[in-house]
């Protein structure tokens, strides 16, 4: 471990919900919950106002509605979240070449590698400057943890929430971690935490006191050794700038179980199409096609087929996924389907059409002309998703508050306006159309950092 707190961990505060509050003045200071709104939806992010009611990420949406019935429930706008994430990541990359993103809203930065900081004082200055620049550029807040290791920096950012900075000086880690719950340590989930509690171990100090041999006996060799090292605050993992992509996959969960075998097959083909688009967008190909099926009883089956060489050919992936589906019994109903490609490479094997079922006939690389058009392309299927942006010819920019029974309710406001008025229209109103999100701040940020001295 290093002798200065020059590993930074940034965690944006309630990211998805904060973006929605920043773009919708009427939701600021109110409970906002973002996630899937169907019967099987889960919470992606809850604002801090919603967390007061006990709502948490990954909670079933039905449970969230019982806890916070008056909250605003919105469908995610991933395109906007990604655009804002790219702004934030650009700020991090201006600090160091070693930036390790963990998700859209979270990353480690090695400040020493970029010579942005060399001791605790300079690291603190950089951390505070980063928070100011994020707020100026995006209108959002992020919490910063600074420490001599990745594990402790992440714990520090959690302690800093919301909208704060915590620096843990090297040499003080053991004293800080000691009284904390075992659940504070990475990799200790509910099951492991309960197992340790039954053994009389509930704090990090008690892990260290139990000793490595006892932890190995309780948890197994690999987990026991790792947990003992973490309890002693030993973490030498470097910040890794790029993680190798191991697979590309897509999956959908259905509000109602699918029993029709024909529809299951069509869904698998649609997922294969999306998966291939992602492959091509990333400039990748793969050798192994994977099918995932979660059945009505929550049992999950995976099937895979390995080709002779890597491909990004739509027909090959489609046919492989269809063959895999033939091996799965879906009689009782299907609640989730997924298609993935692994064994990735940055090149393709051109002559792979013979691997498809119709050997000897080249399969078309693109979607057949008689394939049904995607739902979103059909003009008769105008779906107004809560939280998504719209524009009206007379009233301007707004967002969907709700829809149903042939009506759509829109609140007309922008990030820089006062809370706007609500109006209801017919869902097929020709003057109402989907719109792109507006920037959260009027002008872009200065994305360079002043030299720390």
Q: Which residues contact 353 (CB under 8 A, 6 or more apart)?
A: 313, 315, 316, 361, 362, 363
Select which of 20, 49, 100, 106 is catalytic.
Answer: 106
Structure token pair of residue 78: 């991933």
DSSP state of 451: P
Neighbours of 385 (CB within 10 A): 17
Respond yes or no: is residue 350 known to be catalytic. no
**117, pLDDT greater than 60:** yes
Q: Using a pLDDT cut of 90, give the percent of the chain over it.
A: 64
Strands 389-392 and 334-345: unpaired
Give the pLDDT of residue 244: 67
Mean pLDDT value across residues 168-185: 92
Give the pLDDT of residue 348: 55
Q: Which residues contact 118 (CB under 8 A, 6 or more apart)?
A: 4, 6, 112
Comparison of pLDDT for 132 and 242, the residue scoring more: 132
Mean pLDDT value across residues 303-310: 89
DSSP state of 68: -
Q: Is residue 295 within 8 Å of 322, Cβ to Cβ?
A: no
Which helix H or strand E contains 63, and what residues bound it?
helix 61-67
**361, pLDDT greater than 80:** no
CA angle at 229 for the pair 175 and 207, rounded to the nearest 5°? 65
pLDDT in tens, 190-228: 888 888 999 999 999 999 999 999 989 888 888 888 889
**353, pLDDT greater than 80:** no
Name the pLDDT band for 443 (thresholds 50, 70, 90). Answer: low
Q: Is residue 262 within 8 Å of 312, Cβ to Cβ?
A: no
pLDDT in tens, 363-374: 333 333 334 444
d(CA 270, CA 265): 9
Name the pLDDT band for 36 (thresholds 50, 70, 90). Answer: confident
State the pTM of this model.
0.75
Q: Using alpha carbons, list the distances in angstroms from residue 380 to 214, 277, 374, 377.
A: 64, 25, 12, 9
d(CA 352, CA 219): 46
Average pLDDT, the chain: 87
């Amino acid at each position: 471990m290093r002798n200065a707190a020059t590993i930074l961990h940034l965690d944006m505060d309630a990211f998805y919900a904060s973006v929605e509050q920043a773009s919708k003045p009427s939701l600021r200071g109110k409970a906002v919950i973002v996630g899937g709104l169907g019967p099987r939806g889960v919470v992606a992010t809850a604002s801090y106002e919603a967390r007061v009611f006990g709502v948490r990420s990954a909670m079933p949406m039905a449970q969230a509605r019982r806890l916070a019935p008056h909250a605003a429930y919105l469908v995610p706008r991933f395109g906007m979240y990604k655009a804002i994430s790219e702004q934030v990541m650009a700020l991090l990359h201006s600090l160091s070449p070693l930036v390790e993103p963990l998700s859209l809203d979270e990353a480690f930065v090695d400040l020493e590698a970029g010579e942005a900081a060399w001791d605790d004082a300079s690291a603190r200055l950089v951390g505070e400057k980063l928070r100011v620049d994020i707020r100026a550029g995006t209108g959002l807040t992020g919490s910063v943890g600074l420490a001599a290791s990745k594990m402790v920096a992440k714990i520090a950012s959690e302690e800093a929430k919301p909208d704060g900075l915590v620096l843990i000086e090297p040499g003080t880690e053991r004293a800080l971690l000691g009284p904390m719950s075992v659940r504070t340590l990475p990799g200790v989930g509910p099951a492991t935490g309960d197992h340790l509690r039954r053994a009389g171990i509930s704090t990090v100090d008690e892990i260290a006191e139990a000793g490595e041999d006892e932890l190995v006996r309780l948890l197994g060799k690999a987990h026991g050794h790792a947990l003992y090292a973490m309890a002693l605050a030993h973490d030498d993992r470097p910040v890794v700038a790029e993680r190798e992509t191991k697979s590309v996959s897509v999956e959908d969960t259905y509000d109602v179980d699918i029993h029709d075998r024909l529809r299951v097959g069509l869904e698998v083909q649609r997922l294969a199409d999306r998966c291939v688009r992602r492959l091509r967008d990333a400039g990748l190909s793969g050798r192994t096609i994977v099918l995932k099926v979660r059945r009505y009883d929550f049992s999950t089956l995976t099937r895979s087929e390995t080709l002779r060489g890597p491909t990004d050919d739509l027909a090959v992936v489609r046919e492989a996924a269809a063959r895999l589906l033939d091996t799965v019994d879906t009689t009782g109903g299907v609640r989730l389907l997924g298609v993935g490609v692994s064994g990735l490479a940055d090149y393709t094997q051109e002559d792979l059409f013979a691997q498809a079922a119709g050997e000897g006939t080249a399969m078309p690389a693109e979607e057949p002309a008689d394939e049904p058009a995607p739902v979103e392309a059909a003009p008769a299927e105008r779906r107004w998703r809560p939280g998504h942006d719209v524009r009206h010819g007379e009233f301007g920019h707004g967002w969907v508050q709700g829809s149903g029974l042939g009506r759509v309710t829109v609140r007309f406001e922008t990030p820089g306006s006062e809370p706007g008025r609500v109006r209801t229209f017919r869902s097929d109103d020709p003057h109402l159309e989907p719109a792109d999100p507006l920037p959260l701040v009027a002008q872009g940020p200065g994305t360079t950092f002043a030299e720390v001295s």
